[in-house]
Structure 1
Amino acid sequence: MGKDYYKILGIVKGAADEDIKKAYRKQALKWHPDKNKAANAEEKFKEIAEAYEVLSDPKKREIYDQYGEEGLKGGPSSGPDDQGSNFTSYTFHGDPHATFATFFGGANPFEMFFGRKANGRGPGGDDEDMDVDGNDPFGSFTSFNLNGFPRDRHVGLGGQQRRKQDPAVHHELRVSLEEVFHGCTKRMKISRKRMNPDGRTMRTEDKILTIEIKRGWKEGTKITFPREGDESPNTIPADIVFVIKDKPHMHFRREGSDIVYPVKVSLRQVRWVFAWRIVVGRLFKVIVRGNTANRKWFNVE
């Protein structure tokens, strides 16, 4: 006889998807090896993950309902007409801890909701283990996402406050006047820490962030990438913020939306009419009249 995945999760064969998620949440919390010290907890935890993986996948569930575990895995009892031979052989090679972490959003629910470490001991000493059979451990929350994880995380049963977001990380993004004049695309590589699927260990990964610089953006313009900072179990990743900063130019400087080109002229030039040619993407011609005062501004449309 093959495994009865419905029995493992404690549900009936025609259970709805939402019932499967609720059942997995309850059974996984009950048999998680960090909370359940029974000798068979690890094996039960793996069976629960396998059952959830099959029953939460419509194709795998359809095959399982028709042919059972052996049909799902391409065994000899696939069906009277050997119809199961058309199915891809399935074997559970997954990490039940990764399934658990993915379901709960990568966080440790024991620590988040009860203010306890994974071994059931809180900061104040010995605590009683949570009983998930009699009462739903998340029963005090009224709103759930599709995977059964609570939306409202203001305060857990242990009085723990909601996770706080790390302060934003700011980086200067230096742009030339030519880039701001025409507009351009910048690709910035960042390195950040990410949680692994097991919800315990971390890795460092690189990511390319693409920034479309719009024409005329002023110095000080901020471009924000929400939650692209380092991950950690107890905090929300920081926002990454790039701040536009003008690169120095050999001839020009920018003041607000104006391009300023300082010109030094001799006393001789000031006394006569002369023309000054300026090239900024296209040619401009400035006529300077005689006896022009010092620091006189000329506007070029």
Structure 2
Amino acid sequence: MEYKDYYKILGVDRDADADTIKRAYRKLARKYHPDVSTEADAEDRFKEVQEAYEVLKDPDKRQAYDQMGNDWQGGQDFRPPPGWENQRQEWHFSDADLGGGDFSDFFESLFGGGRQQGRSAKFRGQDQRARLRISLEDAYHGATRSITLNVPETDDQGRVRQQPRELKVRIPAGVTAGQHIRLRGQGGQGFGGGQAGDLLLEVEFEPHPQFQVDGRDIHLDLPIAPWEAALGGKVPVPTLGGQVNLSIPAGSQTDKQMRLKGRGLPGKPAGDQIVRLRIVTPPANSDTVRQLYEQMRDQTAFDPRKQRTGGSK
């Protein structure tokens, strides 16, 4: 079916108030009324104008129509978004509301065509989506945060405006990037007594100065001294749950990975913390340090290139 741009049909802007819409309708209705118009397509244009006005004069129907978004062009192939039928609840019109009009398939697909005198329209509000940036610490411990979002609301003139709304969000411990936090009833407002939609907050993590995240696992590059790598020993390691001691095996090399079980984000099961060793060489910035390096060179005869290639014969 074809999408109907009701604003374009009436020649008004999308933020036009109720009086502007009424004036535009009356002007076009007089122009295309079949009893007075001499234009060849007057009857079709008159029905089109009637249909546009039927939707835009009613704040509930106008808001429902506006939820389709403003990227559509008149005449484009249109299908209602997924779940639209489930949101539409008992949307009926009296014969007086419909005026005996013959409405398009587009209109019928959005609002239905039932004529039941005295029945009111009930329509569940649309679910809204937004992003929520949180710290890794909040994801690990859980937290409650206040956020401000712009949400669509209908004013007294039937115009949809973006209004700021402050909400408190409970962040559950163990939430992961890409997961949604659902705030029931905080989405688009319902119509005719229908319940409000939900607000779905997609979680994303702020960059962390030490940690990287992979699902529930936490990754950390740990600098160690050459003697810690060569001789082994315990070194302190930061985790989201606090500092722990990690046993470094003697003879460890750069890029060796070690796993701290259960030290990632909470869950069932909890994630792990993956520690990658990075050997940091002290600078030879004093006579004493230079002498120590020279002694190592002379006494060990260590050749890392020979070690890497397996030696020469």
What is the TM-score with the length of structure 2 in the denominator? Answer: 0.41
What is the TM-score with the length of structure 1 in the denominator? Answer: 0.42
